[in-house]
Amino acid sequence: MSRLVIPKLAFLMHIPEMYYHYAPVLHRLPPESFDIILPDEPDPALVQLLDRHDYPLALISELLSARTMYKYLITDHLFLQDYHLLQNLGVHQIRMLSELGFDRLQLGNDNRFYDLILNFGRYQTQKLGFCRDTRFRSVGWPRMDRWFEGMDINVPELLNQFNCDRYRPVLLWTPTWGDLSSIEAYAEMLASLTDRYNLIVKPHDYTLLEEPERMHLLRQQHFQQVITEPVDELLLYAVADYVLADYGNSPFGALYTEQRIILLDLPDAFSHPLTGFGSSDIILRNYFPSIDSSDNADALVRLIEGPDLWKQTVRYHRMRDRLFAPVYGRAAEEAATVLGAVDQFL
């Protein structure tokens, strides 16, 4: 039996982060040109974010039972590792990358499945050169555009919202999920510094959803704030004096927005199945200061308060230019232009 093909774009969103990933692009597309696809039991926080808009929504099961699919399906990764499912939802498969780091996961053979990939810049294009039948467009990082457009933010109000003392520096800690999360190795050490710094913790969405033991460990510490609700990451960068990051995508938003980054190292990360030698999150350690899980709190304090640490901006910009297309503040426009004329790129 043939399927009904809707001649529109469809964006598959599965966690709240995907709203922030796609929203800047959706705002620049004609409203009638796209729909949103959700899992059958969508995260209530994601639904709440989408309720702010009048986007047409469809559940996966509804589309499958009605034998209906879209001409263009946009995802950020191979959802549930299910090629067959995505083929039943879209004629043409488009990936709009949302992350750097974890190169063996993000930049692996699964990318051959896509007809078109919108990526951050030449680094990802080069790494995916083995995808011979895939087209590429480097569009930067759309969700970060507001940072460069000039955000109207009341910083004292935000500090108060995050329970921070405005007279102390703010450390924003963005641990990843899975084996390379820094939570167990660093939680107690960082908590010991809360009388000197404000500590805001932004756990990964998958930690919130799938790692209750780690969330319990974070809640046991006396951090100023552990973020458990969806939040625009740019608001956190606006109040942060330093960003503490580990692996995966954890450091790259801070790099894009030119934050002062300190990397939290874990043993054997160089040989981990998701990273390995040459992964972008490993390469980053050649450019930014880091501490080891065996170090004490004084080592971190010395990095933060050392007089010469933050003068190597040329090296930082060189890394940023290697990873990202030079469209800061215009990335969503770039992506929307491609998607608005997608037939020209396929």
For 135, phi then psi, to 5°, come to: -95, 150
Q: What is the pLDDT of residue 308?
A: 63
The pLDDT of residue 2: 82
Each residue's pLDDT tens digit, 210-237: 999 999 999 999 999 999 999 999 999 9
Residue type, 167: Y
Q: Kindly report, as residue ranges, where domains of CATH 3.40.50.2000 are found in the chain.
A: 4-141+326-345
Which residue(s) pair with 272 in the sheet?
Answer: none
Residue pLDDT, tens place only, 2-51: 889 999 999 999 999 999 999 999 999 999 999 999 999 999 999 999 99
The pair of three-digit structure tokens given for residue 198, joined into one six-digit string: 């404000």
Q: What pLDDT, on the 0 to 100 scale, is given for residue 109?
A: 93
Fold of 151-323: Rossmann fold (3.40.50)
Question: Across residues 52-60, what is the average pLDDT?
Answer: 95
Residue 174 neighbours by CB under 8 Å, 6+ apart: 201, 202, 204, 243, 244, 245, 246, 250, 251, 253, 254
| Residue 119 phi, psi dihedral angles, 5° rounding | -120, 180
| Average pLDDT of the chain to the nearest whole number | 93
| Model confidence band, residue 319 (pLDDT cutoffs 50, 70, 90) | confident
- What one-character DSSP code corresponds to residue 258? T
With CA atoms as reference, report the closest residue to 234 among 165, 118, 331, 148.
148
- DSSP secondary structure, 161-202, as one string: HTT--TTS-EEEEE--SGGG--HHHHHHHHHTTTTTSEEEE-
Instruction: With a cut of 80, say whether residue 80 has pLDDT above it.
Output: no
Contacts made by residues 77-83, CB under 8 angstroms, sequence distance 24+: 77/106, 77/110, 78/110, 78/113, 79/12, 79/14, 81/110, 83/113
Q: Compute how many other C-beta atoms are within 10 angstroms of the C-beta atom of residue 114.
A: 23
Q: Token pair of 145, please?
A: 């555009």
- The identity of residue 20, as a single letter, is Y
pLDDT at residue 195 in the model: 95
pLDDT band at 61 (very low <50, low <70, confident <90, very high): very high
Question: Quick check: 6 and 68 in contact, CB under 8 A?
Answer: yes
Q: Where do the CATH 3.40.50.12580 domains begin and end in the chain?
A: 151-323
Read off the pTM.
Answer: 0.93
Cα 145-147-151 angle, rounded to 5 deg: 115
Q: Give yes or no for residue 72 having a pLDDT over 90.
A: yes
SS3 assignment, position 57: strand
Query: Residue 190 — very low, low, confident or very high, per pLDDT cuts 50/70/90?
Result: very high
Rounded CA-CA distance 203/237 in Å is 14
* Rounded distance between C-alpha atoms, residue 260 and residue 86, angstroms: 39
In CATH, the architecture of 4-141+326-345 is: 3-Layer(aba) Sandwich (3.40)
CA distances from 94 to 1, 50, 87, 298 (A): 25, 21, 11, 47
Helix axis angle for 183-191 and 297-305, nearest 10°, is 70
